[in-house]
């Protein structure tokens, strides 16, 4: 634990993180924020199958306990340097497909979370690590961070949604370039392309993520959850997002949060959506 506390200066949070049933995560709730730390620093936080399922379980658990999730990697070298290659080196096609399907379930759980999930990235976010970051709603990174999908170097394609989310985030042409070359990009280029939301100093990484979550948490939880779902509808086959928006807009008028928000506006006071 000392390496995490020393890296981020957050001993008040991480000194007593809850391991519970997790083998490769450390999870802590503090001030209505769920901190999920990938804890395999000796493996550059490589994502094995068990670890991914633990992320899914922790994220599902946080939905009713927190206003938001911050996901990050232990140590200073990597958010997650990719999948654990040794685990699947001998897989056949059926096992590979099952691995991909399980990974997609994890990424979808993060993407569809009704509370915001922010990836705090320090170091490498490659392969599955980049896919994990892209499944989060927002991404904040340090200047030393590196991003890429190098699966073509292994005779593979990305298996956790990288071929779909990367072009959606940065555009088809540049997305294809990174997918086909396996090249890495730095944090500044990642921000310019729209892959990440901000580049900050290492000491500001978690505070910036916390500030974002608290800013979002001050808004209507119902509206936040619906907004996330509506944006996700944009990428779903057979779903008309415009129609979904109209339906969701109408539903909001039946909520107590709508009454609180409009009353606060009309009476020139700050809305309290969580009273």
Structure confidence by residue, pLDDT tens digits, 100-130:
999 999 999 999 999 999 999 999 999 999 9
Predicted local distance difference test score (pLDDT) of residue 275: 74
Predicted local distance difference test score (pLDDT) of residue 20: 59
The domains of the chain are located at 2-217, 221-266
Catalytic-role residue among 26, 54, 151, 191? 151
**Burial (CB count within 10 angstroms: exposed 0-12, middle 13-18, buried 19+), residue 236:** exposed
pTM: 0.92
Predicted local distance difference test score (pLDDT) of residue 234: 86
Predicted local distance difference test score (pLDDT) of residue 2: 33
Q: What is d(CA 26, CA 20) in angstroms, rounded to the nearest whole number?
A: 8
Predicted local distance difference test score (pLDDT) of residue 5: 40
Whether residue 131 lies in the annotated active site: yes
What CATH number belongs to 2-217?
3.90.226.10
Whether residue 151 lies in the annotated active site: yes
Catalytic-role residue among 54, 111, 131, 257? 131
Spans of the chain below 70 pLDDT: 1-20
Q: pLDDT tens across 174-203, in order?
A: 999 999 999 999 999 999 999 999 999 999
Q: What is d(CA 80, CA 78) in angstroms, rounded to the nearest whole number?
A: 5
Beta-carbon contacts of residue 223 (< 8 Å; ≥ 6 apart): 252, 257
């Amino acid at each position: 634990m000392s390496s995490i506390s020393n890296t981020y200066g957050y001993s008040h949070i991480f000194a007593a993180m809850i391991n519970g049933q997790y083998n490769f995560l450390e999870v802590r709730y503090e001030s209505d924020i769920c901190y999920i730390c990938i804890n395999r620093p000796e493996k550059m936080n490589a994502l094995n199958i068990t670890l991914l399922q633990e992320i899914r379980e922790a994220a599902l658990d946080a939905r009713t306990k927190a206003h938001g999730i911050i996901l990050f990697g232990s140590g200073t070298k990597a958010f997650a340097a990719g999948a654990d290659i040794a685990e699947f080196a001998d897989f056949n096609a059926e096992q590979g497909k099952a691995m991909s399907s399980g990974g997609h379930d994890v990424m979808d759980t993060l993407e569809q979370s009704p509370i915001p999930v922010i990836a705090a990235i320090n170091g490498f976010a490659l392969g599955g690590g980049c896919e994990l970051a892209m499944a989060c709603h927002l991404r904040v990174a340090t200047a030393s961070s590196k991003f890429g999908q190098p699966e073509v170097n292994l005779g593979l394609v990305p298996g956790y949604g990288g071929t779909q989310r990367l072009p959606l985030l940065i555009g088809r042409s540049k997305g294809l370039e990174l997918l086909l070359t396996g090249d890495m990009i730095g944090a500044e280029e990642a921000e310019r392309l729209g892959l990440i939301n901000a580049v900050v100093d290492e000491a500001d990484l978690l505070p910036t993520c916390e500030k974002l979550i608290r800013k979002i948490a001050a808004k209507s939880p119902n509206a936040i959850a619906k907004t996330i779902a509506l944006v996700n509808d944009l990428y779903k086959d057979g779903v008309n997002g415009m129609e979904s928006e109209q339906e969701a807009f109408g539903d909001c008028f039946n909520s107590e949060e709508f009454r609180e928000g409009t009353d606060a506006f009309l009476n020139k006071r700050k809305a309290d959506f969580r009273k």
